[in-house]
Structure 1
Amino acid sequence: MGSFLAAATLFSAPAFSAELDFSPEQPNRLRTEKSEAVVNAVPKDFKFVQDGKFVVGINPWVPPISTYATDAKTVVAFDPDLIQLVSDTLGRELVLVPIAWADWPLSLQSGKFDAVISNVTVTEERKEKFDFSTYRKDELGFYVKADSPITSLKEPKDIAGLKIITDPGTNQENILVQWDKQNVEAGLKPVEIQYYDDDAVKSLAIDSGRADAVFSVNAVQAYAASQHGKTKLVGTVSGGWPQTAEVAITTRKGSGLADTLTLSLNELIKNGKYHQVLERWSLSSEAVDEAKTNPAGLPKSGS
């Protein structure tokens, strides 16, 4: 993903518990021990922003990825839980700093944070300025009104002539544009792409029939569907279509911290903590088998 927002046997949506915990106390948050291997892997010349602490920028946008707790100030959900475990392996106190999505690149480059965890997808363009430690699959979903006759949206021809809501400046928008181009070249009807800043207006567009579907981050849309029951999943697509895509903890280019964080993530994968956190937030379907440092990212536009 490049921004905020976001059938039977063919597709799998996360099965959300109605009892997800959004309290500021987070009594069931998983913790782990300091790892000497991880601590020793920190580059000798790397200087953390604060002594004894791990300062991480995060964009609290929507559950179950990251959001504000019921006190409207504590950041909770999957990303905060995972980065807490990483911080534990470093033997450091975690300091989460809420930021706007648009601000993370400059804030990280200027040294305000040691790292950023904010559903950032690995791309070749971003790799020119940042290093990455992958931790989750980037999966997008098509959601339609619960009683919609549409049952499957999984390839370009399926969306021909439809009105689809998506998020500007994101991978999902780029995919829709590419699919629409293929359709038009094949003589099919064009797609009408719609954008809404307000989630309530977006929901109204689906309810009223002004839009046929929403194409956005699958985990976010699945959570929303589980809460209001007004939409249903009719197809999933990799966020990097036609390649696969993964989201990653992001660090400054050449700082050397990415390898350390990748080591931490792989320890958490091996000891089961990683999968426990995914399960806690109903995201097990987006698990990776192995964390990687700077894997091949989504290609640059036009390449």
Structure 2
Amino acid sequence: MPAHITRRSLTRGITAATAVAALATGLAACRGESDAATRTTDAAGTVTVGRLSNGAAQETTLKVPEVKSISAGLPAAVRKRGTLVIGSGTLPSGSPPLGFVGDDQKTVTGSEIDLGRLVAAVLGLKPEVRRSTWENLFIGIDSGKVDVGFSNITDTEERKRKYDFASYRKDELAFEVKKDNPWKFDGGYASLAGKTVSVGNGTNQEKILLEWKARLAKEGKKPLTVKYFQESNSIYLALNSGKIDAYFGPNPNLAYHAAKTENTPQATRIAGQFSGAGETLQGLIAATAKKDSGLAKPVADAINHLISGGQYAKWLAAWNLSGEAVPKSEINPPGLPLNNS
């Protein structure tokens, strides 16, 4: 997900001591970042998407009444509580257009958060957004402090060991380079030989990139060098100064940045794309809940209701993501294999 990720241990298993320490920090961060946007003035049965987006989206108000036949499937504890706690792993610097601080410098907005709010409306629940770092997002889900992560989370077979998924968008990754860099990613890892690429630590794209690095080494090709940075500003400083050749990350983030810098001295471009599920499978982004929590089905049903009612298409269009639409939400569909080959 975002460039500011600091550990990959979370999605690959963490020690008990690390988990305890990170849990305390992460939950404190979550509590401190509860989103003011969840307490909006939207009229009952409506959700406004694209609010305070600083030009990243077209603000659009959608009718989204509760569907009692769907909300009846919620776990009793969630239904009684009346809130849906939505996790966003976008600290510290944000990840536009997926999740970031809006125009008022305090409200968390973004395409992922807006979908969470739409789902909450269908379920008759009040949305409560909690921001954390990427790794602490998963700790929040594990602990039950977060109900569902809406944070550009890729469906993978490894993650299915701990989480249930309800898919809602294609997972497209991309390579971003300086605009004057002629290099293109042609879909094959061989084109990365001799390149230096930045990637977010702990992400699905890191897993893919490290496997490509290992293949190149095994084949005796020029090495692929992988660089890590704490946040996106550092990545783009490195890209503009030539310290890295490319940044490998989620297509929505990179396409947004490229569009924003188009007419500046720091202009970038997209040099190629790759499915987040590897070479043979279309990757999927999914709402993520604790395994066997009972949330995946009502969330998937809510998303499918939004698809059939047209609100889903309007949400994507508002955020310029229509090209990543899926025909339906699936529960735990095939994801990135354990071995990305």
User: Counterpart of 1:40?
Assistant: 72
User: Counterpart of 1:276?
Assistant: 314
User: How large is the Cα RMSD of the aligned pairs?
Assistant: 2.3
Q: Distance in 2 between matches of 1:224 and 1:90?
A: 34
Of 117-126 and 274-283, the range deviating more from structure 2: 117-126
- Aligned residue type for 1:4: P
Q: Percent identity?
A: 35
1:99 to 125, 132, 142: 132
- Aligned residue type for 1:194: K
1:202 matched to 2:238? The reply is: no
- Aligned residue type for 1:57: G
1:293 matched to 2:331? The reply is: yes
Change beyond 3 A, Cα 1:116–1:31: farther
Change beyond 3 A, Cα 1:5–1:31: farther
Q: Give 1:264 deviation, angstroms.
A: 0.7
Q: Distance in 2 between matches of 1:225 and 1:50?
A: 44
Find the residue that maps to 2:72 and give its secondary structure: helix
Find the residue that maps to 1:295 and give its secondary structure: coil
User: Counterpart of 2:98?
Assistant: 65
Q: Distance in 2 between matches of 1:292 and 1:284?
A: 18
8 A Cα contact 2:52 2:104, kept in partner: no
Q: Distance in 2 between matches of 1:135 and 1:91?
A: 19
Q: Distance in 1 between matches of 2:170 and 2:306?
A: 16
Q: Distance in 1 between matches of 2:247 and 2:155?
A: 23
Higher relative contact order (CA 8 A, sep 6+): 1
| Count of aligned residue pairs for this structure pair | 285
8 A Cα contact 1:49 1:111, kept in partner: no
User: Counterpart of 2:247?
Assistant: 214
8 A Cα contact 1:31 1:88, kept in partner: no
8 A Cα contact 2:98 2:253, kept in partner: yes
8 A Cα contact 1:142 1:153, kept in partner: no
Of 121-130 and 229-238, the range deviating more from structure 2: 121-130
Q: Distance in 1 between matches of 2:134 and 2:291?
A: 19
Map 1:143-292 onto structure 2 (within 5 A): 143-229=176-262, 230-242=267-279, 243-292=281-330
Of 227-236 and 89-98, the range deviating more from structure 2: 89-98
* 5+ long unaligned stretches in structure 2: 5-49
* 5+ long unaligned stretches in structure 1: 7-18
Change beyond 3 A, Cα 1:151–1:58: closer
User: Counterpart of 2:9?
Assistant: none
Q: Give 1:198 deviation, angstroms.
A: 3.7
Q: Distance in 2 between matches of 1:151 and 1:297?
A: 26
Find the residue that maps to 2:338 and give its secondary structure: coil
Q: Deviations over 1:189-245 (max 9, x none)?
A: 111212222433322222222221111111101101111121111110011212332
Find the residue that maps to 1:248 and give its secondary structure: strand
User: Counterpart of 2:3?
Assistant: 5
Q: Give 1:54 deviation, angstroms.
A: 1.9
Find the residue that maps to 1:48 and give its secondary structure: helix
Output the TM-score relative to the length of structure 1: 0.86
Q: Distance in 2 between matches of 1:69 and 1:76?
A: 6
User: Counterpart of 2:53?
Assistant: 22
Q: Deviations over 1:3-41 (max 9, x none)?
A: 4238xxxxxxxxxxxx98426xx9634341111221233
- Aligned residue type for 2:335: G
- Aligned residue type for 1:236: Q
8 A Cα contact 2:3 2:232, kept in partner: no
1:56 to 71, 80, 86: 86
Change beyond 3 A, Cα 1:42–1:75: same
